Structure 1
């Protein structure tokens, strides 16, 4: 009433609290009468009394006498205590002797065909070895439907529960994943996760490589575009003074930014550290072209005069 017997237990209602307050712990004789009436099996832990108790050395024989006096059917008693077991076998041969999770050899020597096992031990070994030699397994304490379904599918003979209202309504096991299917799913998900991780890293690597290729192609195109402009510029400034030459000098002119236009597109471009006189460059190119044409005309005229003189001599 004061403390919850289970961690996730819901609080009791007023009716349940009143009902629980009127209940009491039954005596062993009362429990045996109820079990005989309902034809239910009885299993219990039997602890020894205090060292100075007058039933200290005879408590097992006293309990056996109480059970036999109740006239309950002996096959309904699951005898769990290991102390003075030989006496119990002689006095009540119909009791079902229940052992612990000992070795199969030890259980065979003591002629025990049933064991009482904690449900946590079921997951590790599966208890296949015990079922192979026809040893019945009693599992405790099973309160959840999924755990009861697992015990059912594992061919467990009987269970101990504190949740009989819920487990009594289950007429078939709830099927979940088997251990082999769980292992297969686990390995498959690991493989799929590894493939996704590799694909993501490959995608990032591919995207960065495409960016590098794009930057390299853009740099090459920019160099090809600047070189013709540099070759057309006959004048540079170095140190604030105009210097004649073809192409741009490697020495920057500090402290100036000059904007010019591309001659064929009219777009502005800005040079930092280099200044180019685009207008003078264009004028110089025109003058050079005119001089070349004039020289070609002079050569053509000289050739015609020489041909006329030779014809006259002939």
Structure 2
């Protein structure tokens, strides 16, 4: 057994301090500087975990993150995958170091972080902070941060239970290696005191957890209807006829959610971006007009452009490898559709359409004033009854949103996915349908499903259409029972561990003929220890 413990101590010391067995056998107290490094490792671990949690939660907008960064750098690449993988690597490194530090404490070994790890942990902190600041300062992508509280609402109940398990497991290390309950010094210096403060805070944290998935089982609303955002844009070139057909025919979505602009000759057409460079070959067809606004082109000029080849070339979602040769040829032939063509395609399938109409960007545009009337005329020309058309101005007045052929005839309120869940339920009581855009991840669909959202716009219709139930749903009563049960068991276990460890320490002191000091004074103790080392032996 002693050999096994020695091998474990050597392994732990080697991984943390890069020292061998001789160093692992030392029983000297840890230096103050190394204790500070231990605290620094805990700080870096928390920061890197926050960083990883941020990038995992931001997966919902990974495509938009890649797009914006590609426009900035001029090169398309899956940037989000790199950032997420790096955040996970930094977090794993910090957690492993902290884990080996606790093993040192369990083996009662001197902490001595190696210089390589000191450089690595400083680099870890620097990269983690930089990755947290980067989306806001460089990309002005502050919207990514709202995913963190949303994901916390989704994983909150389970994070509480996991946190209780981890803190309960740490009780052995706190009570044995760092526990100093038997010392009678200044309590703020006692690690055990801070441990119990954190543990009590964790016990009562469910009071602040408000997840829409904590819902009675018989109160689960109907699954939100799915609007295909720009068509099946993860499977086909966005805002093209083939993308609309795939979403409507293969995945039976409720409708299409897209954007409409007005050409220079007054024809509404389907296009999201202000310019044409990202999704067309305008650089090849009109090299002198590459940077011009798309609404400065006539319909005839727009129809000369190819709107599908970019998808095959860039492969933004990693889905083109599954295409057949015939599908690749079909994608490469896609053109920019008009509103009339798209609406006709949708009405033939008895589906609905939700779209934003953007006014011309230049006041010299021939239809700068009449753009809304032109849009209404194009809709009515398809045979749509005026009673089936609902439109309203956006909150900031920049564009109008149209809803056509909705089944329930209720007003539709479109909102970004950082909306408060209570607003969705309030809208339902006012007979207002809420459409949330854009929802790509299953966990986010689960949140809005339990919150009672009427419909969502998604680019992942092929994934979300197959979801039959929320990822999890738990009755508040059941969660209350789990909460109390875990807390009670944890509290009993921690008290037992501390009693055992304190008893072991007292027995160990008695076996060596020592008595625990009446009052613990760290400086006085170290002074006596230093004096005993320097005292010369007396020769009789």
The two structures have a TM-score, normalised by structure 1, of 0.50
Structure (1 or 2) with the greater helix fraction: 2
Q: Which has the higher contact order (CA 8 A, sep 6+)?
A: 2
Larger radius of gyration: 1
